[in-house]
């Protein structure tokens, strides 16, 4: 029986992704200066504020606030009117030493006996629908946001774009579980006000067919 399958992706400026990138940058830096670092970091971002939390055991000392601000600036939050800006947002660090109980469970003299230190559940699979083995709907959703980010950074075609955006692609599959057509594409993006609402929507429809706008 034919069915529809939808995948969603968020841009680098989406709060979830901003938090991920900051956490990733902290881990990368700890490992760069001390490959034996044990890092469990969480990041929360909200209006004008970043909270860094977690447990770390490392010989490296890092300016975690500076790392967070550089990530935020690279993403594109560089204007105060966004109410979240790299140089002015608050960055609170609640990172502390890894607890001895957790460290006892992960540190071993033999690397092959090393523990993971955490658990997780996730949904995902490899498929031959694309050359990178990602599900086609997710691959399309990711590429749409990559292109949107390129347009935003170029600053010529759509100067009013802001970093936060999201895409969603729905595919129709046939009885043999093969994708046969795109049922729907939705792109929702944060942007500056550049005209009256009706005119902004009309301009967006002319350029991209349709996208859901989210003014902030």
Helix (H, G, I), strand (E, B) or coil at 172: strand
DSSP 8-class letter at 2 = -
Give the three-class secondary structure for 101. Answer: helix
pLDDT at 213 over 70: no
Largest CA distance in the chain: 66
Q: What percent of the chain stands above pLDDT 90?
A: 56
By the 8 A CB rule, do 148 and 186 touch?
no
Residue 117 — pLDDT band, cuts 50, 70, 90? low
Question: In the predicted model, what is the mean pLDDT of the chain?
Answer: 85
Q: Which pLDDT value is given to residue 196?
A: 76
Residues 207, 13, 160, 188, CA torsion sign: positive
pLDDT of residue 11: 92
What mean pLDDT do residues 111-119 have?
59
Higher pLDDT, 21 or 164: 21
Tell me what pLDDT residue 210 has.
46
* pLDDT computed for residue 216 by the predictor: 43
Give me the DSSP letters along 43-65. EEEETTEEEEEEEEE-S----HH
Average pLDDT on 65-76 reads 97
Dist. CA 39–CA 119, nearest whole Å:
14
pLDDT by residue (tens digit) across 32-62? 999 988 888 899 999 999 999 998 989 999 9
pLDDT band at residue 1 under the 50/70/90 scheme: confident
């Amino acid at each position: 029986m034919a069915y529809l399958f939808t995948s969603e992706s968020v841009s680098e400026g989406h709060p979830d992704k901003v938090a991920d990138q900051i956490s990733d940058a902290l881990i990368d830096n700890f490992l760069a200066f001390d490959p034996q670092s044990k890092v469990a970091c969480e990041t929360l971002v909200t209006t004008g504020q970043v909270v860094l939390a977690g447990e770390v055991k490392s010989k490296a000392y890092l300016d975690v606030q500076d790392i967070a601000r550089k990530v935020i600036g690279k993403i594109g939050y560089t204007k105060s009117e966004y109410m979240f800006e790299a140089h002015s947002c608050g960055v609170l660090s609640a990172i502390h030493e890894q607890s001895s109980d957790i460290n006892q469970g992960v540190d071993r003299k033999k690397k092959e006996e090393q523990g993971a230190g955490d658990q997780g559940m996730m949904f995902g699979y490899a498929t031959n629908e694309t050359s990178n083995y990602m599900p086609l709907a997710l691959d399309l959703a990711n590429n749409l946001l990559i292109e949107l980010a390129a347009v935003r950074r170029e600053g010529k075609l759509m100067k009013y774009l802001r970093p936060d955006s999201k895409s969603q692609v729905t595919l129709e599959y046939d009885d043999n579980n093969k994708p046969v057509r795109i049922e729907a594409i939705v792109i929702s993006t944060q942007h500056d006000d550049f005209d009256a609402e009706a005119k902004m929507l009309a301009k967006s429809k002319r350029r991209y067919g349709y996208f859901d706008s989210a003014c902030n």
